[in-house]
A and B are shown apart, each in its own frame.
Chain A
């Protein structure tokens, strides 16, 4: 077989071997036999090396590798300058990654934490921030029972109507009502907060880089401004906030909220201690839930889908092999004719 190949192919074969051992000696022919038409191959040592696939592959590997190495070292490509819209300080301090109890693939929200977080939201955040996309009914079966949620809703007066006389009237809230906003409109919100608009918190965890980590870091990250940083009157310094100057003051302090999971039924059990970090953690979990109420169901469906589809893939591969085996294992026999001539 080998001997029937054209000469060039053979010398290429030699070049392959040479390239593989990474030695630079010219490719030698694999046999001691001289080829009749050696012209095409005579200049070949170098040329074949140039043309060989191994050369191509190693050159590609070298260039891609050096680009990757360079980017790894310096984070950017040479000769391609980058323009940054902001300095690192303007982007805010990168929050640490915290071990949220709902972080893993199979982890649900900690619903006791959601319940405490709702309390923090209601007592602290709701003074300035709205939560437009969450209705009272969303709390049912998540952090409150239906009766509790109804009672919470009834504490709030909603404008409804028009009635028979065409007038709007006030009525206590129902489960189908959405959480009340602290300000009637954006202008009122800005006017009450020195021109800054407290964002709606429904999707805040999804809407910020760092998600839960960022919210927690921001709430607990208020410090005195470092030397040389000027903070305007009415603003506060928070290294995690992009730019450093935030209108929202520090709001969470130890013991600000009294948690209701102290278990009235067992007077010895203490409620969750309302430290600043605990308050921030609980409200962050609550906001994460508000941004992703489908979170638990989503992860559960994800588990099911991954199991089902990987099993289906595996079985499909088996069945494919099974169906093709007749074709792949086909043998062709040659039975010489017996010479009967017809």
Chain B
């Protein structure tokens, strides 16, 4: 109960704080979600994508 009260007082109590949290949260979530999905995608398709085979054909100068 203490935790939920603390969260309530910290975030939900003032609407300005609440809305700000939502929008910064949305921003952070967008980045994090993209990263997460990309990470999953890359691990699921390991070795199949161009970035995985690029080193075979391109000499790094």
Q: What residues of chain A have their CB less than 8 Å away from a CB belonging to chain B?
A: 101, 106-112, 115, 141-145, 147-148, 261, 263, 296, 300, 303-304, 307-308
B41–A110 CB distance below 8 A: no
Do A111 and B41 touch across chains, with their CB atoms under 8 A apart? Answer: no
- B61 CB to nearest chain A CB (Å): 10
A-B contact pairs, 29 of them (CB 8 A): A106-B40, A106-B41, A106-B44, A107-B44, A107-B45, A108-B41, A108-B48, A108-B49, A110-B48, A111-B49, A111-B50, A111-B52, A111-B53, A112-B53, A115-B53, A115-B57, A143-B50, A144-B57, A145-B58, A147-B58, A148-B57, A261-B56, A300-B38, A303-B37, A303-B40, A303-B41, A304-B34, A304-B37, A307-B37
Which residue of B45, B49, B56 has the most chain A CB atoms within 10 A of its CB atom? B45
Contact A263 B56 (CB under 8 A): yes
Min CB distance A341 to B, Å, is 48
CA distance A265 to B42 in the complex (A): 26
Size class of the B contact interface (CB-based, 8 Å): 10 to 19
Shortest Cβ distance from A177 into chain B, in angstroms?
Answer: 21
Those of B7-61 within 8 Å (CB) of chain A? 33-34, 37-38, 40-41, 44-45, 48-50, 52-54, 56-58
Q: Are A109 and B48 in contact (CB under 8 A)?
A: yes
Chain B residues, CB < 8 A from A112: 48, 53
Closest B residue to A104 using CB positions: B44
Q: How far is the CA of A308 from the CA of B52 in the complex (A)?
A: 28
Interface residues of B (CB under 8 A from A): 33-34, 37-38, 40-41, 44-45, 48-50, 52-54, 56-58
Give complex CA distance A258, B40 in Å.
34
Whether B56 pairs with A111 at a CB distance below 8 angstroms is no
Q: Is the contact region of chain B dominated by helix, strand, or loop, or is it mixed? A: helix
- A108 interface neighbour in B45, B57, B58, Cβ under 8 Å: B45
* Cα distance, A143 to B48, chains bound together (Å): 11
Instruction: Find chain A residues with CB under 8 A from B57 CB.
Output: 115, 144-145, 148
**Chain A neighbourhood of B44, CB < 8 A:** 106-107
Whether the Cβ atoms of B48 and A111 lie closer than 8 Å is: yes
Cα–Cα distance between A201 and B27 once the two chains are bound (Å): 42
Which residues of the other chain, B, contact A144 by a CB distance below 8 angstroms?
57
Shortest Cβ distance from A146 into B: residue? B58
Tell me if A142 and B37 are in contact (CB < 8 A).
Answer: no
Contact B49 A296 (CB under 8 A): yes
Q: How far is the CA of A341 from the CA of B56 in the complex (A)?
A: 97
A296 to B40 alpha-carbon distance, docked (Å): 13
Task: List B contacts of A141 (CB < 8 A).
Answer: 50
Residue of A with least CB distance to B54: A145
Please report the C-alpha to C-alpha distance between residue A109 and residue B40 in the assembled complex, in whole angstroms: 15
The smallest C-beta distance from A292 to any residue of chain B, in angstroms, reads 15
B38 — which chain A residues lie within 8 A by C-beta?
Answer: 300
Q: In the assembly, what is the distance between CA of A147 and CA of B61, in Å? A: 12
Q: How far is the CA of A300 from the CA of B53 in the complex (A)?
A: 19
In contact, B37 and A101 (Cβ under 8 angstroms): no
Residues of A within 8 A of B37 (CB): 300, 303-304, 307
Residue from the set B33, B34, B50 with the largest chain A CB neighbour count within 10 Å: B50
Name the distance in Å between B35's Cβ and chain A's nearest Cβ. Answer: 11
In the complex, how many angstroms separate the beta carbon of B22 from the nearest chain A beta carbon?
13
The 6 closest A-B pairs by CB, nearest first: A108-B45, A111-B50, A110-B48, A145-B58, A106-B44, A112-B53
Supply 16 further A-B pairs (C-beta < 8 A) apart from A111-B52, A296-B49.
A106-B41, A107-B44, A107-B45, A108-B45, A110-B48, A111-B53, A141-B50, A144-B57, A145-B54, A145-B57, A148-B57, A261-B56, A300-B37, A303-B40, A304-B33, A307-B37
